[in-house]
Structure 1
């Protein structure tokens, strides 16, 4: 990933990725790994900052009927279907008429 995307400098991760991974990312990949943690004193649902960035694409993929269940035998087939679903989503967004005054 680092060779392909040199412009990425910050990565968000779930609270389960604490420990040596932070130092490894900094030393080996020259990335800043920021852990998004939830507080232990919450008693109700709270939206964690930046969590939606990772979770929304998975929700968008579930709109594709074929991806709702894992029927594929080969990972390459699943990967192709995911790419197809995301390309379809991007095309729909690009084809959507823009609101007046929005640039």
Structure 2
């Protein structure tokens, strides 16, 4: 193991990757004229193919996408910045409610989630989020008369987030043996995005 990899593992195991990411997110929000901590989040998931190094105990089959791999769950703010994300051991969409949103969201915050195959019982999920997290979860439904590809309200925000991850070559496929490393790589990808935003020069006012 090279020295660079040892440093990355030490940062991951001590939570430094996430801490560095969260500090940058607050800076980006302040630069955009927002409060450092958000009051709303958009929730969705993405299935990705897993490489051969991912063991059978850390992967699963997504029947909706017909894909064998891992599922990334994410909560982003209204700017598309990552608030919380995790990769459960299987590709299944079910996950403990305590990890359903970031602790950065204050009590009574609003969360948007889309109904579909991954939300079998949206009513019980809403109640669990209210009871456990004090989170007001709104399920955005697609009406029966909608045809073709339709962008539901707020959904483009989290879809843009996933599109950014796909631009990171390491994240186009899950290459990490552990889910902890997979989550750390997502944080690193967003860290690169935020540093570019902070470094972007603003036009001078006349």
TM-score, reference length from structure 2: 0.44
SS at match of 1:49: coil
Bigger mean CA deviation after superposition, 66-75 or 86-95: 66-75
SS at match of 2:167: coil
Structure 2 alignment gaps of length 5 or more: 1-98
Task: State whether residues 36 and 50 of structure 1, in contact with CA within 8 Å, keep that contact through their aligned partners in structure 2.
Answer: no
C-alpha distance in 2, partners of 1:22/1:70?
30
Structure 1 alignment gaps of length 5 or more: none
Greater helix fraction, Structure 1 or Structure 2: 1
Q: Partner residue of 2:134?
A: 30
Greater strand fraction, Structure 1 or Structure 2: 2
Q: Partner residue of 2:178?
A: 74
Q: Give the one of 36, 41, 45 matched to 2:149.
A: 45
Aligned residues: 101
TM-score, reference length from structure 1: 0.82
CA deviation map 1:11-57 (0-9, x unaligned): 11111331211122222322111011111111232210011222221
Q: Partner residue of 2:167?
A: 63
C-alpha distance in 1, partners of 2:190/2:133?
27
